[in-house]
Structure 1
Amino acid sequence: MRNRRGHARFRSALAIAVAGLLAGCSVLGAKEEPLSAVQPTLGYPRSWIWSAAPGVSLQSADAAAARAWVESSDLYQDTRVSYPGFAEATTQAIMDGLVGAEGTTKIGGTDRILIRSLTVTNDEMRVRFCVDSWDTFYFDGSTGDFFGAGFDLSTSELLMRRGAAVGSVIRGKTSLGRTIQPAAPAGNPGHLVPSTSWLKGPTTNVFADWVATWRDSDIKTPADCVAWFKRSHPGLNYPTGYTAEKRPNRPAAPPPPTLPASPGW
C-alpha cells in the first residue's frame, strides 16, 4: 500500500510550502502563541519501539538525537507536532519536503525501528535503520475514519552534522503540543484524541548541536533487517504473504492497538 521512498508514505502529493506554515503560526512560526490559545492536535495515538544492533546504545546522547529526529519528523508530517528543538535540528531543504497537517492521509499505531549502525566521524553522524511498519495504520485526517493497516519493511539512512558545520537554521522555537489545528472532525471524532494526552516525548531539547542534513528511505530486504523483523513476527513467512493484499491479520476495523513505546523518554 505504501512506499517509504523519500518518506512520503502516501503524502508526496500533499507537500506544502514552509512560507505557508510560517503565515499560519505553526510550530515553525517566528511567533509562538500561548498554549491556552492553541487547539491541541487530534489524531490516533502513535508510538515507536526502538532496538539497536550490538555496540549501539539507545541511551547515548547521539542515539537519542537520532531517535528524537525520526519521531519528530513522523509527527510533524502527520500532525505538525514536534519535540523541542526539531526545527533548529533540521535544514531548510529537509523541512521543505516534510508534509504538514493539511494532508488527508494520516498515520497511527507503532513503528518498530532497529538502529543498524551509528557512526560519528568528526562533525558528522550517519545512522542506518530498519523500519517495520506492520503495526501502523492509516486514517482519514478529515473524518477520523480508519481505512487500512501498514505492512512495509524498509531501510532508512539519516545524516546529521554539527550545527556549526551546517550554518544557521534557526526558525523559531518548537515545543511538544504547540500547534494550531481545527476542531475534531465531524465524521468520526470519537476515534481521535489530543496528542497531548498520549504523546510522551522529551520535554527538553535532546538534539544537542546535531542538525539533520539528509535522509533517504527505501523498501529493501537486507538479511539483518529480515532476521530482526522475524523476531517480532515469527508467524509471518516473509516475504511470502507480506503484502497489503495477503496480510493474514489485516484488520478491517477498528485499527490495531498502539503498542507501548520503548525505551521512551
Structure 2
Amino acid sequence: MTGGSRDDGTAGDRRDPDALLARAGVRGNPDRDQHFLVDDRVLDRLPEYATDAEFDTGHVLEIGAGTGALTDRLLAVADEVTAVERDPDLAAFLHEEFADAIDAGRLTVIEGDALDVDLPEFTSSVSNLPYGASSEIIFRLLPQKRPLLVMVQQEFGERMAADPGTDEYGRLSVTAGHYADVEVVEPVPKEAFSPPPAVQSVVVRTRPRDPEYTVPSDDFFMDFVTAVFTQRRKTMRNAIRNTGHISGLDDPDAVVADADEDLMGMRAGNVTPAQFAALARLAWEVGDPS
C-alpha cells in the first residue's frame, strides 16, 4: 500500500516498520551507518517524549528518516514535519509512501546530508541519528535553541549528560550543557534495530536554556574546552600550556599565571562548566587569542 492510498497516520493506524522495509526493498547497511529502528514500542514512545509542555510540535525536524517509521508517528502529533534523508532511493520512497501528507502540506522531504543542506525553521527535532555523524549533527542543532530528542550510542549519550567528577564527564558534557539541559530518558537494546548495531543505544532529550555564566565567544569557549580535554590526565596548568596551538592562545603562560592556583592544580574532569567559562574569559583577556 503506498502513500497515495493511505492516510498519514492516526491513532491505532501506524505503519509497520518491517512492512516499510519490505515496501522500500531495502536492508540496513552497517557500512553506511544504516540501522533502522523497527521496535514498535520504542517508535511509539518517541513522540510521547516530545509532547511535553516544553516541546513545541508545530514543526518537527527529523534527521535520517530512513523508510519513515518514525516520520509516520511524528505526523500523528505534529502540525508539520520536515524529514531529511541522505539516501536518494530512500528519499524517493518517502515521497511515494507519504504522498498524501506531502500533498496536504504536512510533510516536506529533503534529500541530502543533514550537515550540508539548508535546514528550515523548526520548533523541535526528533531523530534516530546516523551514529557516525551524531556529534556533528547535534552541534549543528543545539545552537538553534530548540528542544531535541535523539537516539544515539549509549556511550555518547551518557557523555552528553555527565556531571563533573564522573568518568563520562568531558568535552561533550561541557559543550552540550552550554546550550541545554541534557538527560538520558531511555536505554534502547540492539535488538530494536535492523540490523542490530554493535553497541547499545539511548534516547537523549535536551531542553534549551541559557547558561548561568558568560563567555566571550561560543566558538572560543568550545575551542578552549576541546583543547584542555585533549590532555585531561594532566593538571589544568599543564593542559593550558600544552594546547595553545589548539585553543588559539599565543600566550597560555599568562593565563596560568593569572588563574586561581587551586584550579590550575585540578584536572579537566573535575572542572565545572562555570569554572571553564571563567578560565575562558581570562584566556580571552590575557592569553592573546588569535
TM-score, normalization by structure 2: 0.24
Q: Which one has the bigger helix percentage?
A: 2
The structure whose Rg is larger is: 2
Q: Which one has the bigger strand percentage?
A: 1
Considering Cα pairs closer than 8 Å and 6+ residues apart, tell me whether 1 or 2 has the greater RCO: 1
